[in-house]
Amino acid sequence: MDELLMRPALDAAVRAGAEYADIRRVGRVTESIGVRQGAVRSISSSSEQGFGVRVLAGGAWGFAASSRLDPDEVQRVARQAVGIARASAQVMDRKVTLAPVEPVTDTYRTPVRVDPFAVKMEDKVSMLLEADRLVSAQRKPWRVATRLIGEAYLNWSRENKRFLSTEGADIQQELVECGGGVAATAGTLREIQRRSYPNAHRGHYATAGWEFVESLRLADAAPRIGREALALLGARRCPSGRTALILDSTQMALQIHESCGHPIELDRVFGSEASFAGTSFLTPDKRGAFRYGSEAVNITADATMPGGLGTFGYDDEGVPAQRTEIIREGVFLNYLTSRDTAPLVGDEASSGAARATGPDRIPIVRMTNVNLEPGDWTLDAMIRDTQDGILMETNLSWSIDDRRLNFQFAAEAGWEIKDGSLGAMLKNPNYTGITPEFWGACDAVGDKSEWRLWGTPNCGKGQPSQVAHVGHGASPARFRDVRVGVGR
C-alpha cells in the first residue's frame, strides 16, 4: 500500500514545484473504558487512518491531509499542499531554512512485554469495577448527605506510522501507550472534594505494555483515596499567607509542564502561538545566562528515556530522539526545537521535538519528556527539615499567563507541616508565583528513590488543536516563601 501512496505523493509534490516534501502515513487504534458508581459508563474503540503531505514551495510551508488512502487522493493532496505553500509565500518575509538532518532508513518500536490489545476486555472491565467498588466501600461519616463516588479509567492505543522525505528518509515506528487511574469524589450539599491515583486527569500513562497498567495496582490505592476524599470534607481550609511549600512529584510534573515545558518551546518564543496559547518570557537573549532557578534546579528534555509519553525513535520530521540540557544548576541553556526553528537561534541541528498528534496535523515544537533531574533529598528528610510549611499533592487546576510567568495552581489535598512533621490535612490548597522567582526559591529536590516519570496525555497547543502526550520526570521538591491560599 505504502509503495502506491507514499513515494508517488513526494513525486507529485516535486512535480508541482516543491523544493522539499515529506509524507507521514499513520494508522492508530485507541480504546478506553470508563467506570463510575459501580457501572460501566463507556467502552469505546476508535480507529484512524490517514496521511499528511508537508511541502516547502517558494520557501514557504504548505500542508494537506486526507483520510482516504487511494492513489488519486494522494496526488490531489500533494498538489493541494503545494498550492497552499504558494499562498503562504504571498505573506512572507524570508524563506524557511531547515536545519540539516541525516536521512535514515530505520524502524523503532515501543518495547512491550504484554500487548494491551491482547488483554481481554472483560478482565479490564473487572479490574476497574473492583477499584471503583473499593473507593465507594469506604465508610461515610455521620453526615446524612455525604456522597462518595468512585471512578476508574483505562486507555490503551497503538500507532503505526511511516515517514518519507524527499531527502531520502524512510522511518517506520510503532508506539504503544497505555495507562489508567482511579478517582474518588466526596460531596455534601456545600462542597465537592476529590482524590486521584496515581495522578489527576484520568491517571498515569506510559509508552509501554500492559505490564505498566498492572504495576499501577489501582485497586490497592482505591481505599486510601476514598478515605482521603471523605477526610477532606472535614479538613481545615488551606490558610492564606506565605510559607514553605513542598510539592509531590505529580504536582511537580504539572509545575514543570506549565512553567518550563511550554516557555522553552522555540516556536512560541518566535510568536507562532501568539494569537492563541501565547508567547514566552524566555527570549533568545536570556539563553546561556538567565537565572531560571536555584542551583538545585537541573532540567533536561529526554526523548530517549524508556517509558515516557514523550519517548520515541524519531520525531515527526525524521530527527532522532535526543537528550538536551535545558536548565543546568539554575541557568537556562537550551530550547525545544524543530528543523525550521533551530536555525533562528543559530543552532546547527534540531533537538528533535517536532511532533504531530496525527496524520492530519503538522508537526510543531512539543515537549518530549521534560524532566527535573533528581536531587539528594528524601521526602521524609525534606519534611523533617521544614519548620513551618505545607505539603500539596495531586494537581486539581492550573492557569498561567500568556508569557508563562504568573501562575496559579490548585492541588487536591494539602497537609500542614509543623516543626518537621506532617500535621492536619488541609482542603482547597492552592499557590501562586512568578516562574523564575518560584524556581529561584527551590531549595530541595527529592532523590532518585522519589523520582517518577509521569505521563501527561492532555497537552493542548496549536490551531487546529493538537492534544499531545508528553512526559515529565520529577521527584518532590521544596520552595521557600511561597504565596498560598489565594482567593478564598
Partner 1 sequence: MIGREGATAILRKAIDFSDAEQTQAVLIGGESALTRLAENVIHQNVAESDARLTVKAVFGRKIGTASGNDLSDEGVRRTAARACEIARINREDRRFVSLPAPTGDAYPQVRCFSERTAAFGAAKRAAAAGIFAAEARSAGFRAAGSLGVQAGEIAIANSLGVLAYSPHTRVEASTVVMSGAGAGYAGDSAVDVDDISFAEMARTAVQKCRDSLNAAALPPGDYEVVLEPEAVGAMLLFAIRVGFHHVLYRQGGSYLSRKLGRRVLGDNVTIWDDGTDPRGLPMPFDFEGTPKRKLMLFENGVFRNMVYDSYTAGEAGAKTTGHSIPYADFGAMPMNVFVQPGGASIQDMIKSTERGILVTRFHYTNLVRPGKVVITGMTRDGTFLIEGGKVKGPVMNMRFTQSVLEALRCVEMVGSEPRRLGMANVPAMKIGKFSFTGATEY
Total of residues contacting partner 1 (CB under 8 A):
82
Residue 77 binding partner per list partner 1, Zn ion, none, with a CB distance cut-off of 5 to 8 Å that depends on partner kind: partner 1
CB of 122 to partner 1, least distance (A): 6
Amino acid at 290: F
Q: Which residue has the cell 499531545?
A: 468
CB of 315 to partner 1, least distance (A): 17
Task: List strand residue ranges (DSSP E) for 118-272, in order.
Answer: 147-165, 170-187, 192-197, 204-207, 236-237, 241-247
Of the two residues 298 and 456, which places its CB atom closer to partner 1 in the complex? 456
CA distance 294 to 316: 34
Residue 93 binding partner per list partner 1, Zn ion, none, with a CB distance cut-off of 5 to 8 Å that depends on partner kind: partner 1
The interface with partner 1 within residues 118-177 (CB under 8 A) comprises 121-122, 125, 129, 145, 147, 149
CB of 325 to partner 1, least distance (A): 27
CA nearest to 356, candidates 467, 472, 265, 262? 467
CA dihedral 56, 62, 68, 72 (to 10 degrees): -60
Are the C-beta atoms of residues 327 and 292 closer than 8 Å to each other?
yes
Q: Is 40 in the site for partner 1 (CB under 8 A)?
A: yes
Of the two residues 173 and 428, which places its CB atom closer to partner 1 in the complex? 428
Kindly indicate which of the ranges 33-41, 208-216, 248-256, 293-301 contains the residues binding partner 1, using the contact rule CB under 8 A: 33-41
Q: Is 14 in the site for partner 1 (CB under 8 A)?
A: no
Residue 398 binding partner per list partner 1, Zn ion, none, with a CB distance cut-off of 5 to 8 Å that depends on partner kind: partner 1
CA dihedral 93, 95, 99, 104 (to 10 degrees): 150
Are the C-beta atoms of residues 345 and 97 closer than 8 Å to each other?
no
The interface with partner 1 within residues 66-85 (CB under 8 A) comprises 66-68, 77, 80-81, 83-85
Q: Of residues 283, 399, 421, 458, which one binds partner 1 by CB under 8 A? A: 399
Kindly indicate which of the ranges 2-10, 31-39, 103-111, 165-173 contains the residues binding partner 1, using the contact rule CB under 8 A: 31-39
CB of 191 to partner 1, least distance (A): 6
The interface with partner 1 within residues 169-228 (CB under 8 A) comprises 185, 187, 189-192
Q: Is 98 in the site for partner 1 (CB under 8 A)?
A: no
The dihedral through the CA atoms of 330, 336, 337, 341 has a sign that is: negative
Kindly indicate which of the ranges 100-108, 215-223, 244-252, 266-274 contains the residues binding partner 1, using the contact rule CB under 8 A: 266-274
CA distance 263 to 7: 37
Count CB neighbours of 480 within 10 A.
17
Q: What contacts 208, CB < 8 A, 6 or more positions away?
A: 110, 111, 112, 176, 177, 178, 307
CA distance 252 to 472: 9
Q: How many residues does the chain have?
A: 488
CB of 196 to Zn ion, least distance (A): 18
Mark residues 448-477: x for contact with partner 1 by CB under 8 A, - for none.
Answer: ---------------xx-------------
The interface with partner 1 within residues 341-370 (CB under 8 A) comprises 360-362, 364
The CA angle 334-163-172, to the nearest 5 degrees, is 100
* Residue 464: cis peptide before it, omega within 30 degrees of 0: yes
The interface with Zn ion within residues 160-219 (CB under 5 A) comprises none
Q: Of residues 405, 441, 443, 447, which one binds partner 1 by CB under 8 A? A: 405
CB of 367 to Zn ion, least distance (A): 7
The interface with Zn ion within residues 428-467 (CB under 5 A) comprises 459
- Can you read off the three cell numbers belonging to residue 245? 511549600
Are the C-beta atoms of residues 475 and 446 closer than 8 Å to each other?
yes
Residue 459 binding partner per list partner 1, Zn ion, none, with a CB distance cut-off of 5 to 8 Å that depends on partner kind: Zn ion
Q: Is 65 in the site for partner 1 (CB under 8 A)?
A: yes
Residue 186 binding partner per list Zn ion, partner 1, none, with a CB distance cut-off of 5 to 8 Å that depends on partner kind: none
CA distance 332 to 260: 10
Q: Which residues sit at the interface with Zn ion, rule CB under 5 A?
A: 459
